[in-house]
Structure 1
């Protein structure tokens, strides 16, 4: 675990992506952290601070994750890349004993299990969270509470049109949490018929999940509950990527004191 009297050495993968830029700014602004590496295939060799519009950081963009981790002696890797990149990145981080904090979704279950095993062998921690917004975590917790009393539920998640996976990791995590609080049940009329395939959305334990992808959105989700003579809607909106940063910072600090993989930010907050 990092000592309280020194900074946690942080590397950021996908540092010039939309989320990566916010992460870099957050790390640079937090006295608990020291930014020691920025990895991105573009603008290699340039100062990351200048590229994102802050003061020069003295950290130059690298293309090779393995080389950057080795040279920087990073303790934590924050990764908001894509599903086809993050898996390789985490295995590289684990090889060098670097703790991963991952916000990318669409990761295979077998990889999550493998990471947990490796982390425990190395006696270090890792965090994978479908959503780092504190409000989104509360939305998931409230939805699980409501499902005990209103088990008929559907989930609608809305994201920008550059998101690659559907449904979102937040929607799947919400459905998993709801499923723990209610018995599996098939909703809707048993004789209902889809006139267009997929019109009723994806099925998870009998509940439906609908994905919307449009420009202009960031990350949004509403959970709809139906009961006799009443409905309940629990909704969360991230109107800026800054909404994720307090949770990212929290995870990057907490990860230095855990062993094994923690899946979901709700497991790190009271």
Structure 2
């Protein structure tokens, strides 16, 4: 696999991505519109809301789609984009294994099209998850706490699920047994959700934006890998990187880490 281009890479003039943003009026969309408009090497050609017909993407001459909508409509948007040969970057939650398998099957019929599904566009968050997964091989215990604003619709967060999956995979490959836990009774679910063998605890609190801690414990020591995003500006460099890279990565990529050379 070739190395991903640096975040500052700009496509040639004849290959400038022409971007249509779906969900342009939403919380993420309102930040993404100026970020894409101002990014060197990208051209913003359409800003669509939930009531706009998808055919407007084609009318605008878009080559790329940025989907920042809601889980109920994101699969339909992605299917439309792939069917029309448009490279797509998805920042909408709700893309579980079943939905990803369906999209991958569709992409197999359109081998030149690239799609990125990113549970988190923050480069710092992606790095924190990767570091935690590498460290988790060396510690007996691991748990995860994700903390978000109370308006967030899903729990655990997509980032937490992705982090737990990476940790679980790393520990299996290293032959690390499950974290020790003598709990026998937990009628109210105090121990949190279990994702790929990792306990995940979700906090929803006024004043927070997006925060995650991976707690790693061994005899006599603890390591905490924490990332904090204080506003949605943290996600814009990752969105731009995704749009600049997706056309060069045909097929489905899950996680922005797939576009970074993390070894």
What is the TM-score with the length of structure 2 in the denominator? 0.88
In 2, the alpha carbon distance for the partners of 1:188 and 1:10 equals 48
Q: Does 1:169 align with 2:178?
A: no
In 2, the alpha carbon distance for the partners of 1:151 and 1:191 equals 16
| 3-state SS of paired residue (1:235) | strand
Q: Which residue of 1 aligns with 2:58?
A: 70
Q: Which residue of 2 aligns with 1:87?
A: 75
Q: Which residue of 1 aligns with 2:28?
A: 19
Label 1:3 to 1:174 Cα distance change in 2 as closer, same or farther (>3 A): closer
| 3-state SS of paired residue (1:180) | helix
> How far is 1:30 from its partner?
1.1
Determine which of 106, 125, 131 is the counterpart of 1:136.
Answer: 125
C-alpha contact 1:120 1:259 (8 A) present in aligned 2:
no
What is the TM-score with the length of structure 1 in the denominator? 0.86
In 2, the alpha carbon distance for the partners of 1:79 and 1:36 equals 14
Determine which of 194, 203, 206 is the counterpart of 2:197.
Answer: 206
Q: Which residue of 2 aligns with 1:9?
A: 18
> How many equivalent residue pairs?
247
C-alpha contact 2:140 2:179 (8 A) present in aligned 1:
no
Q: Does 1:190 align with 2:182?
A: yes
Label 1:150 to 1:65 Cα distance change in 2 as closer, same or farther (>3 A): farther
In 2, the alpha carbon distance for the partners of 1:105 and 1:175 equals 16
| Counterpart mapping for 1:118-267 below 5 A | 118-122=106-110, 123-183=112-172, 185-194=177-186, 196-267=187-258
C-alpha contact 1:185 1:205 (8 A) present in aligned 2:
no
> How far is 1:111 from its partner?
1.8
In 2, the alpha carbon distance for the partners of 1:32 and 1:204 equals 39
Question: Residues 10-60 of structure 1: CA distance to partner in whole angstroms, max 9, x if unpaired?
Answer: 00011011100111011110131111111114xxxxxxxxxxxxxxxxxxx
| Counterpart mapping for 1:40-51 below 5 A | 40-41=49-50
Q: Which moves more between the two structures, 81-90 or 223-232?
A: 81-90
Unaligned runs of 5+ in 2: 1-9
In 1, the alpha carbon distance for the partners of 2:105 and 2:68 equals 22
Determine which of 28, 33, 42 is the counterpart of 2:37.
Answer: 28
Label 1:218 to 1:39 Cα distance change in 2 as closer, same or farther (>3 A): same
In 1, the alpha carbon distance for the partners of 2:57 and 2:72 equals 20
Q: Does 1:108 align with 2:96?
A: yes
C-alpha contact 2:140 2:180 (8 A) present in aligned 1:
no
In 2, the alpha carbon distance for the partners of 1:191 and 1:210 equals 16
